[in-house]
Chain A
Amino acid sequence: MIRLFLLLTILHFSTLLFGKTWVVSKDGANPSIKTTILKAQPGDTLLIKSGYFKEGNIIVNKSLVLIGQGLPVIDGENKYENFTLTAPFVTLQGLKIINTGISDVNDISAITGESVKNLRIIDNIIEDAFFGIHLKGSTNSLISGNKLKARNQRDAQSGNGIHLWKCDSIRIINNTVEGHRDGIYFEFVTHSVIQGNVSHHNLRYGLHFMFSHNDEYRNNTFKDNGAGVAVMFSKKVKMFNNLFMENWGSSAYGLLLKEISDCIIENNRFYKNTVGIYLEGVNRGTFANNQFRENGWAVKLQASSIENVFEKNNFVGNTFDLSTNGSLTANRLDANYWDKYDGYDMGHDGIGDIPFHPVSVYSMIVEKMPTAVMLWRSFLVFMLDRAEKLVPVIIPENLRDDHPQMKAYDISS
């Protein structure tokens, strides 16, 4: 696989070396991108000089390299799809793509790649697109350093920023997505990497995974999206070093996990979300070294989740650390730091001597009867929690941390 990839890359560069360079300029010999593409041979390079291009739908059906100089503007006039890539080995770089059309029937996007491989979409600025970058059935491609921004207010009039369907081995690196429906959307995408992206103020999810296995995302920031990040129906997804923050609202989640298995979630930070992580039907997940800070619920663990392990996480300043809806939960908590822990450590080994039960009785009540949330912060609730702490009868006995840490872990950014 890797060898093939290397070979292809070398091939790619060799065509680059021997190709001809066409200069597309408003006041030059080639004023139109479309006609220059007709004239060019596969492997050629188009240098697009700064200017304003209204050329409808530009179809790139040859392996060409399109490089913008001085940020040429490609206007879709709110009608057309700006670029349709139908050949492999196409590079789009340094373009400003604006005003993509909106359609209820087709997924019109600023850049579409259909059943092609080895695309490189680098350092473009995409504004007011319906869909931003849309790859279908594509493999081995790079989407890097793009800035996507949409201004739609309504869900139905807005497409996803980076939308991948049935792709494999895609690298999405250092992009910024803002104001789309879903920032980054994955469906049937495998072996892909999402790294260093910032996805914020999107209408629905910052990142949305469906049926996508063996993917990895790391060092991303998901901030203030309508509903946070959702990973559903996927296997073996790795999530490292991400920051989930300020996903605040009555149905917003830092990270929503549904029907996924064998995922690893490490070194992430969850800050000021309504729900840090919501787990439903999650099996064999590992949650380690995460920082949960000032969330409404740090972790909402539905009883349909089994064999998950939470260890070495920090829980600081959350309203509820952990809540669950069942009495029997087959998950393990170990060696976490809980700021609500008030036990003691006589052996001075940094581990509290009495176990900690992070589920409070009030959170159980609220889980059963949502209306009871109106009693929050009342004296009665305080008394209930205190009484239950002394003599636990309602909270699930096996959902406890036997080695609560006395000091918070140093979880670096």
Chain B
Amino acid sequence: MMKIAKYALLDILRNRFVLFYTFFLLLVSLSMFSLDSDSSKATLSLLNIILMVVPLVSIIFTTIHFFNSYEFIELMLSQPINRKAIFASEFIAVSAALCTSYLVGIGIPVLLLNNSAESMVLILSGLMLTLVFVALGFAASISTRDKAKGIGVALLFWFYFSLIYDGLLLYIIYSFSDYPLEKITLMLVSLNPVDLARIVILLKLDISALMGYTGAFYKNFFGSSLGILYSLGVLGLWVIIPFLISIKVFLKKDI
């Protein structure tokens, strides 16, 4: 399995996109820190990158990579190798590449320039988001037949989690604003990895005071070690469930 993963990884590194992505993240985080003298503010500005760009790049790259290495996968399938191992090694290769570039591009500058607990949460959440969207990318590409359709589904996923879902959430809050919604929104937030990561990071940056009662409620929940474990656990589920679904589809699929 590791051998296949190694070849897949070498293949990813050959097309230089990952290098470009690393360089882009590095440039963005360094320029944020040099533009803003207050390092915790720069961390906050980086939040937008982590919530928008990282998921987008992760999911699109995964989809394109899957369809580009379609022939390689076909070749592998013709060999006496377990299908599960082939899929898992592809997954490992892509996530290893993207996580490394994320850590180099954002993790190292943030740790060097603003080494604090909130930075750790920021890095960890970004890492989890990368994994989540790699898993979703595989799910998108497995469930479609051609590349254009796959990218379309991937983009739809991204749109849904970063825009449409929040719109629906706002609609729910608006419709039921006469009721206490804290617990329900907490549950609904767990259904969107992007929202979950955003709120966990914002609460760490001590902005909960702005959020009134809702903020206090969330702070109580996410501020405790149990809350951190919960959010990491939910993000973990967001990796595992799409992964399991796509592996199931892959096992039965007529490639």
Contact = CB atoms under 8 A, between A and B. Distances in A.
Nearest to B218: A374
Interface in B49-69: 51-52
A378 B198 contact: yes
A340 interface: no
B187 interface: no
Interface in A295-310: 296-297
Given A373-B214, A373-B215, 5 more contacts: A250-B215, A297-B210, A371-B181, A376-B210, A379-B166
Contacts of A154: none
B211 A373 contact: yes
A369 B167 contact: no
B167 to A, nearest CB: 6
A376 B205 CA distance: 13
A248 B210 CA distance: 9
A372 interface: yes
B211 A248 contact: no
Contacts of A156: none
A367 B170 CA distance: 14
Contacts of B181: 371
Contact of A377 (B48, B189, B215): B48
B78 interface: no
Contacts of A252: 209
Contacts, number: 76
Interface in B146-189: 162-163, 166-167, 169-170, 173-174, 177, 181-182, 185, 189
B210 to A, nearest CB: 4
Given A250-B215, A379-B166, A380-B166, A374 B209 contact: no
A249 B173 contact: no
A319 interface: yes
Contacts of A28: none
A375 B195 CA distance: 8
Q: Name the residue among B174, B211, B213 with the largest chain A CB count within 10 angstroms.
A: B211
Given A369-B174, A371-B177, A379 B51 contact: yes
Contacts of B80: none
B124 interface: no
Interface string A351-394: 00000000000000100111111111111110100000000000
Contact of A250 (B47, B166, B216): B216
Contacts of B212: 250, 370, 373
B177 A250 contact: no
A174 interface: no
A370 B214 contact: yes
A234 interface: no
8 contacts: A319-B207, A371-B182, A372-B170, A373-B212, A377-B198, A378-B162, A378-B194, A380-B170
A220 interface: no
Given A371-B182, A374-B214, A379 B173 contact: no
B189 A374 contact: yes
Contacts of A380: 163, 166-167, 170
Interface in B67-121: none
Given A250-B216, A374-B218, A379-B166, A369 B210 contact: no
B177 A368 contact: yes
A369 B209 contact: no
B28 interface: no
Nearest to B199: A374
Interface in A211-264: 248-250, 252
B247 to A, nearest CB: 30
A283 interface: no
B202 interface: yes
A368 B214 CA distance: 14
A274 interface: yes
Contacts of B51: 377-379
Contact of B214 (A248, A274, A371, A381): A371
Nearest to B216: A250
Contacts of A274: 209-210
A108 B216 CA distance: 36
B170 A376 contact: no
A297 B210 CA distance: 8
A376 B199 CA distance: 9
